[in-house]
Structure 1
Amino acid sequence: MPNEKKKQPNLEEKGENRMQPSYEEKTEKFSMIRKKPHHVPPHLHNAIELVYVTKGELELGVGYELYHMEKGDFAVVFPDLIHHYQVFSKESNEVYQIYASLELSGPFMALLQKKCPENPVIKKENLPYEIKNSLECLISGEKVNEIVGQAYLQIILYQCNNMLQFIEKDRVGSNDLIYSVMTYLLSHFQEELTLGSVAEALGINKFALSKVFSGIFHTNFNQYLNEIRLNYASSLLENTDRRITDIYLEAGFESQRTFNRAFQQKYGRTPSEYRKTWWGK
């Protein structure tokens, strides 16, 4: 099957996938997650992300494009690019996501900072042995230390550099008001924000900004901001054992009561119950 690339569906088609992004600050230099993929709203982070599908199917969205991935397919997402995931298959799905900091990229750092792949997916049938072997070694079950991770990462990036076509990062997405709003909120959602303060920071009228949320995102400013914060908080609940008190404060909520109410409204359960579904305890 050729490498599929298609425009993302209308944002109104799936309510749970409206463009409500979150920002993730990756603090570990090298980490890996094996997971059953699910809908993940638009987000960005400061790490290189390698995506390897080992069961089923996955839709990877980068900027305004959507790429279909199947078992054995691989993708690389460069740092600071808005991306998301969708899963439509009812079959068993599994994906490995590997995160590495820029400083591990060695001679590829300038490329990662300034450019990105025009199409980030390499289909199974075109995947070089060096990339497949590196991925299989990384997911073999033994914990990978930073030095070993760096070695495999640079092998993978070397092959990607030879295979993929690259474009300037500012060509992904848009420089218009919508993209400016998204990127600003991704970077500042942990702060105390109002519609007026964001409008002032972006140098626009707050009524014009309000129309962006109602007309494009089909929500209001506060609901949109809460979605970003909830996405961030749920990620911490899934992947860390940090106290819920610390999580809601770091996510930008002013009180645990506000956080609990918003969280239960979105997920249909309390933060503690949500964590149990992931951790089993």
Structure 2
Amino acid sequence: MEFQHELIIPNEGFPFKLFLFEGRNGNYVREKHWHTSIEIFAVMEGSLYFYIDEKEYPLKAGEFLIINSNEVHSIQAPVRNETIVLQIPLKQFSDYFTAQRFIRFRSRNEESEETDRRMVSLIREMYRVYVSGETGYEFRIRAVFYEILYLMVSAYRETEVEENALKISRRLDALSKITTYMREHYKEDLRLSGLAAMFGYSDAYLSRMFRKYARVNFKTYLQDIRMAYAYKELLNTDHTISSIALDNGFASSRAFSREFVKRYGILPGRVERQNYKNVKKVL
């Protein structure tokens, strides 16, 4: 299968990840990939093209698209755009699963265009509050977030799903359960053999699962998780390099620095630390 698994880590202190689409300058292509989280793209300016199961979904300003869990998709951004992306961990919808770890949403409310406009408005407001950092913004942003969740389960959730969609989701969900466990226990001494036994697979079979569905080996995927969390801590705290390394599952500061240089081209000590909320203010 020619697609990658994307690792998604929520924003610090929140049950979601919210950011501006990285292809906002245009002339951008994101190849086929998938993730467990639900993802919403809301276009404020410009346009985007999505491809899900080879079907094209063009989006223009004022429109949004919901990408379902385990749904393989690609994105093309030929022109400049301002697009807000909201990624929501699947567990946020656990009370509304249609089947085991399965829930599916449509991207249009056929009965009410006003509901669609409301969804875009809420996402815009959520991002505005997030970048403002005003007193009490944490409460306001959660209020808006939960209103979005309410709309999703009340106006966009599909209750009747084709068996083929369930089969595809189950196939990717097998690995998703393992990667979710890895994200929750990445600081521990995780080993392929231990995870294989825990989830009822042989070492060889689990290794093939990673290569087939995540397109990386187990060790690289684990390092990706550890590095993602370590990088976030590096930006947001004044912790020492040594403590960051050990807190995020690296054997030593030397091992962390070696991996960091391999990925980012500089030593971690040369990274300019900043407040995590210093994101580009737009809209």
Smaller-chain TM-score bracket = 0.5 to 0.7
Question: Which residue is equivalent to 2:62?
Answer: 72
- Cα contact 2:10–2:16 (8 A) shared by 1: no
- Cα contact 2:50–2:76 (8 A) shared by 1: no
The verdict on how the C-alpha distance between 1:270 and 1:74 changes in structure 2, with shifts beyond 3 A counting, is: farther
Q: Distance in 2 between matches of 1:93 and 1:213?
A: 34
Structure 2 residue runs without a partner (length 5+): 24-29
Q: What count of residue pairs does the alignment treat as equivalent?
A: 256
Question: Which residue is equivalent to 2:157?
Answer: 165
- The letter for the 2-side match of 1:130 is R
Q: Distance in 2 between matches of 1:110 and 1:148?
A: 23
Q: Paired residue for 1:94, among 76, 79, 82? A: 82
Answering whether residue 11 of structure 2 is matched by residue 19 of structure 1, we say no
Task: Pick which of 145-154 and 167-176 moved more.
Answer: 167-176
- The letter for the 1-side match of 2:264 is Y
Give secondary structure in 2 for the equivalent of 1:163.
Answer: helix
Give secondary structure in 2 for the equivalent of 1:224.
Answer: helix
Q: Distance in 2 between matches of 1:68 and 1:186?
A: 33
1:200-243: CA deviation from partner (whole Å, max 9, x where unpaired)? 222222122233344554443222321232233344456x3453
- Cα contact 1:54–1:71 (8 A) shared by 2: yes
The verdict on how the C-alpha distance between 1:163 and 1:218 changes in structure 2, with shifts beyond 3 A counting, is: closer
The Cα of 1:26 is off from its aligned counterpart by: 5.8
% identity of equivalent residues: 21
The verdict on how the C-alpha distance between 1:70 and 1:135 changes in structure 2, with shifts beyond 3 A counting, is: same
Answering whether residue 107 of structure 2 is matched by residue 131 of structure 1, we say no
- The letter for the 2-side match of 1:19 is H
TM-score (norm. length: structure 2): 0.62
- The letter for the 2-side match of 1:270 is L
Answering whether residue 193 of structure 2 is matched by residue 229 of structure 1, we say no
Give secondary structure in 2 for the equivalent of 1:53.
Answer: strand
Q: Distance in 1 between matches of 2:104 and 2:181?
A: 23
Q: Distance in 1 between matches of 2:48 and 2:159?
A: 24
- The letter for the 2-side match of 1:223 is T
Structure 1 residue runs without a partner (length 5+): 1-8, 12-17
- Cα contact 2:49–2:77 (8 A) shared by 1: no
Alignment of 1:122-201 (within 5 A): 128-140=116-128, 142=132, 143=134, 145-167=137-159, 171=166, 173-175=169-171, 177-201=174-198
Give secondary structure in 1 for the equivalent of 2:103.
Answer: strand
TM-score (norm. length: structure 1): 0.62
- The letter for the 2-side match of 1:73 is E
The Cα of 1:55 is off from its aligned counterpart by: 3.9
The verdict on how the C-alpha distance between 1:165 and 1:214 changes in structure 2, with shifts beyond 3 A counting, is: closer
- Cα contact 2:260–2:268 (8 A) shared by 1: yes
Q: Distance in 1 between matches of 2:2 and 2:198?
A: 29
The Cα of 1:192 is off from its aligned counterpart by: 0.8
Answering whether residue 104 of structure 2 is matched by residue 117 of structure 1, we say yes
